[in-house]
Amino acid sequence: MVQSVYFHIPFCEQICYYCDFNKFFLKNQPVDEYLDDMAKEMENTVKRFSYSRMKTAFVGGGTPSVLNEKQFDRFFGAIHSNFKFEPGYEFTFEANPGSLDYDKLKALKEYGVNRLSIGVQAFQDELLKRIGRNHQENDIYENIELARQAGFNNISIDLMSGLPGQTLRMFKESLEKAKKLPIDHVSSYSLQIEPKTIFYNQMNAGTLHLPPEEEETAMFEELIKQMRDNGFIHYEISNFAKPGKESKHNLTYWDNNEYYGIGAGAHSYIDGVRRENAGPLKKYMLLVKKEGFPYFRENRLTLEQKMEEEMFMGLRKRTGVSKDIFYHKFGRTIDDVYGRAIDQLLKKGLITIDNESVCLTEQGVFLGNEAFEAFLIDG
């Protein structure tokens, strides 16, 4: 049964140089019409795929905080018309520093949002400019303080490592400043160069200068150490939380559970089928108007694919993959399906296994891709 929903707002006032998410410059876009089509997709989705109540919701982008007051009303009104939430639900809203004032934050609280995910990325103004961000360090402190004043007691920030021009000293400085903030969760991701990004074009032109691999590894080591020393639980490869503040929505993905995806370019997983919505704005909107659903691609997973994904996603969690849950989902034991891969990874020191679960070791966290690939059944 679906208990989580993701909403995609693809509009941005500025495009970050590393971003490969589905996004469009805000200026001259049909935002109101897009929100109406999202509302129609919501309505059609819950009619076609039943649910009881949502445990989590997540509004991402793009930059959702670029919506104005009337657009907030339109958007959240559609959400609450179509979705009911369980007591104790988690409702996350993404925002960039500098994009939220007190009135907008209070409005978010009134709409039921109770968790903020703020895209900090770095604390050095020069570095922020170099990666295409339009905020500065002071905006970080101001927005987090305003969020606390508005009543938010669950705030996450995103950081990035391996950025062009970023040194280990700079990343340590960002971690030191992050630790002093009244925040509850940190996600930190290493830069990945993706096609159709400005950084990808710079890399092909030979003008992108990245830190050496050993310095990037040192950044990850420093991240783990400083987060743990400051009372954050390392609960997923790239995520750290104060006790009880783990991202419930993202755990939906890592637990390989089903979810709705609403909006241009959004993905969903329902009844064993992964669906991808059309990304181009006009195509998304046309499909919703003509067909009711914006699906661009649908893939019904085989049993083998479901088991592979259970391992890929579950091993990202430090608690690993539960043997009982694996057997309950698939009617086969992990040892029966993956005995050979498990033996190989045990010998390499990349996983541990006991009566309850299969987990990455400390070494395995740094070599996660090697461990994940071993669970390809045809690999």
Residue 141 backbone phi and psi in degrees, to 5: -65, -40
What are the tens digits of pLDDT across the range 24-79? Answer: 889 999 999 999 999 999 999 999 999 989 999 999 999 999 999 999 999 999 99
CATH number of the domain bearing residue 52? 3.80.30.20
Q: What is the CATH number of the domain that holds 346?
A: 1.10.10
Rounded Cα distance, 161 and 137, in Å: 16
Residue 78 covered by a domain: yes
Q: Considering only 114-123, 193-202, 220-229, which range has the smallest mean pLDDT?
A: 193-202
Boundary residue ending a domain (226, 254, 282): 254
**pLDDT for the residue 377:** 67
Share the mean pLDDT of the chain. Answer: 95
Q: Are residues 236 and 345 in the same domain?
A: no
Q: Tell me if 58 is assigned to some domain.
A: yes
Closest by CA to 250, choosing from 75, 79, 113, 115, is 115
> Domain residues for 53?
2-254
Q: Closest Cα to residue 308, out of 297, 318, 321, 299?
A: 321
379 vs 87, more confident? 87
Average pLDDT of span 247-254: 98
Residues 347 and 204 in one domain: no
Examine the pLDDT at 17 and tell me if it is beyond 90. Answer: no
User: Residue 116: inside a domain, yes or no?
Assistant: yes
User: Is 232 a member of any domain?
Assistant: yes
Do 354 and 247 lie in a common domain?
no
Give the largest Cα separation in the chain, rounded.
59
Q: With respect to residue 263, please indicate whether it lies within any of the assigned structural domains.
A: no
Instruction: List, for residues 138-175, the tens digit of each pLDDT value.
Output: 999 999 999 999 999 999 999 999 999 999 999 999 99
Asked if residue 35 belongs to a domain, the reply is yes
Residue 323 located in a structural domain: yes
Q: Average pLDDT, stretch 233-247? A: 98
Least reliable range by pLDDT among 31-40, 193-202, 240-249 = 193-202
Within a domain: residue 102? Answer: yes
Domain co-membership, 237 together with 353: no
Residues 68, 164: one domain?
Answer: yes
Interval 102-112 mean pLDDT:
96
pLDDT at 378 over 60: no
Out of 237, 254, 271, a domain closes at 254
Tokens standing for residue 149: 């004043």
Looking at residue 196, its pLDDT comes to 86
According to DSSP, the residues that pair with 93 across neighbouring strands are 59, 116
Please tell me which residue, 15 or 175, carries the higher pLDDT value.
175
Domain-terminating residue out of 207, 232, 254: 254
* Number of structural domains found in the chain: 2
**DSSP string covering 148-210, please?**
HHTT---EEEEEEES-TT--HHHHHHHHHHHHTSS-SEEEEEE----TTSHHHHHHHHT---P
Does the structure show a pLDDT above 90 at 182? yes
Confidence of residue 379 (pLDDT cuts 50, 70, 90): very low
189 and 108 in a common domain: yes
Mean pLDDT, residues 99-103: 92
Residues 247 and 325 in one domain: no
Based on the domain organization, do 214 and 362 belong to the same domain?
no
Q: Which amino acid is at 143?
A: N
Q: What is the pLDDT of residue 20?
A: 82
Shared domain check, 137 and 234: yes
| Co-location of 213 and 340 in the same domain | no
**Distance separating alpha carbons of residues 192 and 190, to the nearest angstrom:** 6
Distance between CA atoms of 48 and 76, rounded to whole angstroms? 21
Query: Does one domain contain both 177 and 323?
Result: no
Burial profile 327-344: b = 16 or more Cβ within 10 angstroms, e = fewer: eeebeeebeebbeebbee
Same domain? 124 vs 232: yes
Coil, helix or strand for 81?
Answer: helix
b/e burial code for range 171-201 (CB count within 10 A of at least 16 → b): beebbebbeebebbbbbbeebebeeebebbe
